[in-house]
Each structure stands twice: as C-alpha cells, then as structure tokens.
Structure 1
Amino acid sequence: MNARFFFRAVSIWALSLMLVTLSYAQNPAPQRQYSEVMYHKLKPGHTLQEALAIEDEWKKIHQVQVDNGHLTGWYVITKAITSNPNQTAYDYITIKNFSDFGVFGNGYPQSHLEKVFGSSAKDKWEGLGKRTEAVKESVKMEIWEGVDAAWNEKQLPPDKSSIWVIDWMRVKDGKYAEYVALEQDMKKLHQERIKMNIITGWNLSALKYPAGSENGYDYATVNYYGSTKELGDGRYAEAFQKAMPGQDAKKLTDRIYQTRDLVRQEICVLRNFAVKQPSLAAK
C-alpha cells in the first residue's frame, strides 16, 4: 500500500477513535450498532464492473473480520434510481457495520490479513491497495448510528433483501424528538408490511459523524424489498389499517411532513456482502 493510501486510511480511523473516546468517557452507553458508509467514485477510464471485482477481493478480508466479530456485516450497493440531480457525485456505496468503535484504531488487524493472504500478506495487501486506488477513490465517509429497526423473524440472508429504498431526511428545527417518536410509532406499520411479505425489513439511523448543516440531512430510513415486484405492492392502506386501527393515515403523514423534509431518495441494488455464516448445527 502506498504512503498516501495508508495515511488517509489511518487518519480517518484515528480521528473517529478520538471523537468516540471523548464521547464514551463522558457518557458510557450500552453496545449499539454503527455503520461506516463510504461513497466511491470511479476514476476516468474505469468501469463499475472493475470496481465490483476489486470489492470482491476486499470481501475476503471483510468475511474474516465478520467471522472474528471485528465487524457485524459488510455490504456493497449501487444506485438504480436517484432523485439527486448530481448523479455523478458517487458511483457506489460500501457499508461496514460494527458495534465497537475500537475497529477504527485497528481497521485491518495483521492476523486477519495473514488469514487471507498467508505469509505474503504485506505484499498482497499493498498490491490490493494499489489496484483499488487505480480504479476508484473514496469521496466521502459518514458514520451512522442505528436508532430502530424491524426485520423478518426468519432472519433472511441479505440476498433475499436485494432492493434498498433509502430516504435521507433533514429534521426541522426543534422537531427532533417528535420526528423520532413518529418514526418509531410507524414501526408497527413496517412490522405489518413484513408480515404481509411486502418488505423484508426497515431501519432508522441517525448521522453521527460528521455533523453539520451543510450535510443537508441528519436521519435516514431504509426499506428492504426482496425484489422489484414488491416495490409496486399496492396494499399500503390495508397494512396501515391492520397496524394502526382507528388512525387517519393522511393526518399521520401530514404530521411527519411537519417534522422533516425528504432531501433525497435512492433505489439501490445489493451487489455483494459478508455476514456471519450460520453454523452447520443451525442449518
């Protein structure tokens, strides 16, 4: 790995670790779920197929990290449809889930690299870094914290939730608590939609780092679908009546709109992932 690539990676890990150390020292909290979201842009002359092939090499490392508990999951998604007028801002996204911020202090332990590359870990690791830099660059990184979620009780594998509809939200001043409460109340609706096999899961996350109004958003929701067929399912009203009897769907929707603005929506496709492999006994 060349010096520039290594310095940038270590700088990001060190900064995040410093911020989190200060936060935890002041206010110890129970274990939570976090996501490192990286936005990647292809370099001129290179294709998405090349980038996905490189990410397939990274998957080998991330799978070891997941199996060792260093990460809780790793995912690659690409845009299919976006409301963002600047569609070339990035080409695809990688997501690393974790529960311990200590991963930033040692993002890629030597033991994990050796398990993948063997005795020639140093040379192969540097070669992977050079090939990665030649194809794409990471243009932005964000850390998100999980707030709430609902999932299919069958614990479906990620490839059964291949379509992600992501909404980025900016909450209006003074409306944060009300917005989160409304989203959590709507969880009953998402659980009903899961029972009706419309979606496979839903989650709500808050942008943790970097903070700043220039981001344009501070919360995001993701609705997970098994295929594009479910995107057109017209049973929303039926699900609402079952989950929230006696409530007016329009009034509730209007209340939500009064607390936040939908900044951007994207429909993304899951292209790769690494998750904990079920044991033979579980199978």
Structure 2
Amino acid sequence: MTAPVVKMEIWEISDGTYAPDFAPNGSQLMVVERIKRRSQGSDYESLIPVLKRSGEERVRKNTLLGWDFSTLIVPNGTEKGYEFSIAQFVSNLSVLADPTTKQARSQLAQNFDVVRQEVYRFQEYTTKAK
C-alpha cells in the first residue's frame, strides 16, 4: 500500500554548478532555501550568474558538492509565498556554519527573502537522459 501524494511541486532548474564527481547519492543531503523577490516584478535573471559564481567558488573550495537555482512552475501564485529555490548539496550540515556560506547568504538577502529552509536526505533519484 502506498501513501497518497500530499504535496506536489514542479520545479525547473534555471542554472547550477556541480563538482565533477557529483551524484545525489554521494552527497546525501540537500539544503533548500525557498525564496521570493524582495521587490515583486524586479529583474531576478541578471542576479542568477552572480549567485552562481558564489556557488562555483564554494564547489571549488569543496564547501559544496553542488548548487542550483530553480523556478517554481506549478503550483504558482502570490499565495504560495515563494517562487524560487536555491539548493546546496552537502555531505554534512556543518557547512552551513562556514564563512563562505554566511557570505553567500548575505549576498542573497540583498534581493531575496528566504521564506523557508528545508533539508532533504536522498533515498532515490533519477537523472535526465542526455
């Protein structure tokens, strides 16, 4: 017997960066920050490369195993409370106390509000066919 789906969201990864040997089963943990723009209607697409550079630097320093920025596709609307997410793939949660993580969080806060933070542990995953 399977449990019914209680909540379902469809996200599209807008951009990301990953360590060369990245696989979700290798990191086990994904810290997701659900975010919204501070100013509704403001240009967020020009900010993604800036945030990605921070993610790339943290991947180079082995602070992160991967980083991505995603857009909520379904469901969507103002009542949702968030419209984007940033995922950080980590091997343990102590990385959240790292100075580079705090710096990235400060950079994010200039344009986005973090609505909620969630931590996921991977059990199963799929990959997109090339």
Q: Give TM-score scaled by structure 1 length.
A: 0.40
Count of residue pairs the alignment pairs up = 126
Query: What is the match of residue 59 of structure 2?
Result: 194
Q: Which residue of 1 aligns with 2:7?
A: 140
For residues 260 and 275 of structure 1, the distance between their equivalents in structure 2, rounded to whole angstroms, comes to 29
- Cα displacement string for residues 106-162 of structure 1 (whole angstroms, at most 9, x for unaligned residues): xxxxxxxxxxxxxxxxxxxxxxxxx11xxx2212222211111011123x2222111
Map residues 62-211 of structure 1 onto 2, 5 A cutoff.
Answer: 131-132=1-2, 136-154=3-21, 156-171=22-37, 172-175=39-42, 177=43, 179-211=44-76
> 2:24, 2:110 → 1: CA distance?
34
Report the Cα offset of residue 183 of structure 1: 3.1
Tell me the CA shift for residue 272 of structure 1.
2.4
Deviations 1:249-281 (A, max 9, x none): 89x73xx435322111112211223448xxxxx
Compared CA separation, residues 257 and 273, structure 1 to 2 (3 A):
closer
Unaligned residue ranges in structure 1 (runs of 5+): 1-130, 241-248, 277-283
What SS does the aligned partner of 1:173 have? coil
Q: d(CA) in 1 for partners of 2:89 and 2:50? A: 19
Corresponding residue of 1:236: 100
The structure-2 alpha-carbon separation of the partners of 1:174 and 1:273, relative to structure 1 and needing over 3 Å to count, comes to closer
Paired with 2:120 and 2:76, the residues of 1 have a C-alpha distance of: 24
Q: Distance in 1 between matches of 2:124 and 2:30?
A: 13
Q: How does 1:202-281 map to 2 (within 5 A)?
A: 202-232=67-97, 234-236=98-100, 253=107, 256-275=108-127
Runs ≥4 residues deviating over 4 A: none
Secondary structure of the residue aligned to 1:139 is coil
- Bigger share in strand: 2
- Unmatched segments (≥5 aa) in structure 2: none
**Greater RCO (Cα-Cα under 8 Å, separation 6 or more):** 2
CA separation of 1:210 and 1:228: change in aligned 2, threshold 3 A: closer
**Contact persistence 1:225–1:231 (CA under 8 A):** no
8 Å Cα contact 1:144-1:209 kept in structure 2: yes
- Mark the CA change 1:219 to 1:199 in structure 2 (over 3 Å): closer, same or farther: same
TM norm structure 2: 0.81
Larger radius of gyration: 1
Give CA deviations for 1:212-237 in whole Å, capped at 9, x if unaligned: 111111111100002334344x3418
Alignment root-mean-square deviation, CA: 2.5
Percent identity between matched residues is 29
Which protein has the bigger helix share? Answer: 1
